[in-house]
Amino acid sequence: MILGNLTGKIALVTGSSRGIGAAIARRLALEGAAVVVNYSGSEAAADAVVAQIEDAGGRAIALRADVTDRISADALFEETIARFGGLDIVVNNAGITRDGLIVRMSDDDWTDVIATNLTGVFNVTRAVTRHLMKQRSGAIINGAVRDRVAIGALDLGVKAGIIDKSGAWFTYGQVKLGQGRENAKQFLRDHPDMAASIENRPPFLDHELVELAFRVDSAMKIKGSSGKWLIKEIARKHLPENIVDRKKVGFKVPLDTWFRGSLKDYVHDLLLGPDSFVSSYFNRRIVTNLLADHTKGRRNEELRLWTLMGLEIWHRAFFRTIRQ
The domain made up of 10-214 has a fold known as Rossmann fold (3.40.50)
| pLDDT of 303 over the 50 cut | yes
Q: How far is CA 103 from CA 111, 241, 324, in A?
A: 15, 40, 50
- 52 vs 248: which has the higher pLDDT: 52
Instruction: Find the mean pLDDT for residues 51-79.
Output: 93
pLDDT band at 223 (very low <50, low <70, confident <90, very high): confident
Are 301 and 293 a contacting pair, CB within 8 Å?
Answer: yes
Residues whose CB falls within 8 Å of the CB of residue 255, separated by 6 or more in sequence, listed in order: 302, 305, 306
> What is the share, in percent, of the chain residues with pLDDT greater than 90?
22
Residues whose CB falls within 8 Å of the CB of residue 114, separated by 6 or more in sequence, listed in order: 154, 158
CA–centroid distance for 98 within its chain = 20
pLDDT band at 148 (very low <50, low <70, confident <90, very high): very low
| pLDDT of 157 over the 50 cut | no
Instruction: Find the mean pLDDT for residues 190-217.
Output: 60
Q: What is the pLDDT of residues 258-294, one digit of tens each?
A: 999 988 999 899 899 888 888 777 888 898 999 999 9
Where exactly does CATH 3.40.50.720 map onto the chain? 10-214
Residue 98: Cβ-neighbour burial (10 angstroms; 0-12, 13-18, 19+): middle
Count Cβ neighbours within 10 Å for each residue of 282-321 and write b for 16 or more, e otherwise.
Answer: beeeebeebbeebbeeeeebbebbeebbbbbbbbeebbee
pLDDT at residue 101, as a whole number: 64
